Amino acid sequence: MPSVDINIGILAPSDEDREALRRQVEGLGVANVSLEMEHYCSAAADRPTARFVESAPDIVIVDLEEPEAALETLRILHQEIPESWLFVTAAVKDSELIIEAMRAGAREYLFKPIPPMSLAQAIDRFIAERKRAEQKSTTGKIYCVTAAKGGAGATTVTINLATSLAKLEGSRIAVLDLNSPVGDAAAYLNLTPQYTVSDALGAAARLDSVLLESFMARAQGFDLLAGPKEFWPEAAPGVNGLPGVRSLSRLLEVVSNTYSHTLVDMTTYLEKQWFQMVLEAASDCILVLTPELPALWRTKRLMSFLSDCAPGKAPHLVLNRSRKSDEITAEEIERALQQPVYWKLPNNYHASIEAINSGSALVTNNHSSLASSFEQLAYRLTGMEVQQKPRTFFGLFSRNSGGL
């Protein structure tokens, strides 16, 4: 463990637990206990809260001996000293309590008796994150791409947006494939990656930028973390309990600190907690639909679900395969969903399938109106101008005009 001085506060009702935590912390040799409290916080203005605000420790360890009071303490401390990392300790492995603690602001959940290595690794992660924050003043943006109906083109939109953004000078683009039952992005790009998102989630406890990049496959100028090879959600690591939620949180945290823009190809078949976490981390959510009645019905239901997951964060509606002759017009879709269509992608199904069969993004070599529309969507979404690569003399003769 690096030689770094870290101030740690301890809040535990039991004298014995406080003593044990203090000895364990100081035994690591990189941290000191700056504050010990036995009473939970009940309000922002009470004495225990004021002591923690005044001390502003780097890490606060809160014992969950009295769960309701401890959770309220976590919420108060998370609001009053947001820069401090909150660790919680508990003698029971209650998945619901763990999830509530994470929602209240806890960054680490340590089971008692705490193995010395577990505490050391948790502090290591704090140190690594602090160093990354010092080196990088801004974090990358995350965008969620999903669809209510299979075949709407969410994966195609994801890949082409990623390829378009990869043209930006100095950009670092990633795609996370959280699709189910298995990921499609690798197949669309004709890749057989050695690692998948399951490997990254399984290694979340030690995940950093270097390890994350080792799980990535390179394609079309961006990095792809391929979708699972096994069926989700049953086979997803801890998807019905905290390990999966915590692992996903860590993955999103690391990817935002590693890449300038990340697109998450998100299935609608995952647990609600997963959707909530991705939506909370995302700058925007792109909801892809096609101009057909079943897609419209399902999209309306999905919008209600998304609103429940992330209140106040409305998705951007992207109408795929749009034509002037569509029986259901964009205006009718807007009235039915009570939300404007953010972008319309023209119909060019032949070019899209051709690109998939060739294992490349449509925007790579295609000069159709659809390719241009993808690039303009990327520009509008990020506020950054997509820079076209200079065309060579021989490139003029290999142009594929596409057509609507």
What value does the mean pLDDT take over residues 291-316?
90
Q: How far out from the chain centre does Cα 402 lie?
A: 34
Other beta carbons less than 10 A from residue 220's beta carbon = 20
The two tokens of residue 64 are 């969950």
> Do 227 and 117 have their domain in common?
no
For 382, what's the count of Cα atoms within 13 Å in the CB-facing half-sphere? Answer: 25
- 204 lies in the same domain as 324: yes
Closest CA to 39 of 10, 60, 82: 10
On whether the CB atoms of residues 283 and 142 are closer than 8 A, the answer is: yes
Last residue of a domain, one of 84, 113, 135: 135
d(CA 399, CA 403): 12
Phi, psi for 111 (deg, rounded to 5): -85, 140
User: Which of the four pLDDT bands, split at 50, 70 and 90, describes residue 304?
Assistant: very high
Q: What is the pLDDT of residues 198-257, one digit of tens each?
A: 888 888 878 888 789 889 999 889 999 998 876 554 445 444 443 478 889 999 999 999
If one counts the domains in the chain, the total is: 2
CB of 321 closer than 8 Å to CB of 345? yes
CATH number at residue 308: 3.40.50.300
Q: What is the pLDDT of residues 90-105, one digit of tens each?
A: 988 887 888 788 878 8
* Domain finish residue from 106, 135, 164: 135
- pTM flag (> 0.85): no
pLDDT of residue 231: 57
We report the CATH number of the domain holding residue 31 as 3.40.50.2300
* pLDDT per residue as tens digits for the range 15-68: 999 999 999 998 888 888 999 999 999 998 899 999 999 999 999 999 999 999
Residues 121 and 155 in one domain: no
pLDDT tens digits along 130-147:
776 665 545 799 999 999
Q: Of the candidates 99, 115, 135, which is a domain's last residue?
A: 135
Q: Which domain holds residue 40?
A: 6-135
pLDDT exceeds 60 at position 390:
no
Residue bearing the bigger pLDDT, 60 or 106: 60
pLDDT computed for residue 239 by the predictor: 44
Q: DSSP assignment of 283-326, as one string? A: SEEEEEE-SSHHHHHHHHHHHHHHHHHSTT-PPEEEEEEE-TT-
Give the pLDDT of residue 194.
87
pLDDT of residue 181: 61
User: CA-to-CA distance for 200 and 188, rounded, in angstroms?
Assistant: 21
What's the pLDDT at 235?
Answer: 43
145 and 92 belong to one structural domain: no
E-state strands within 112-172: 141-147
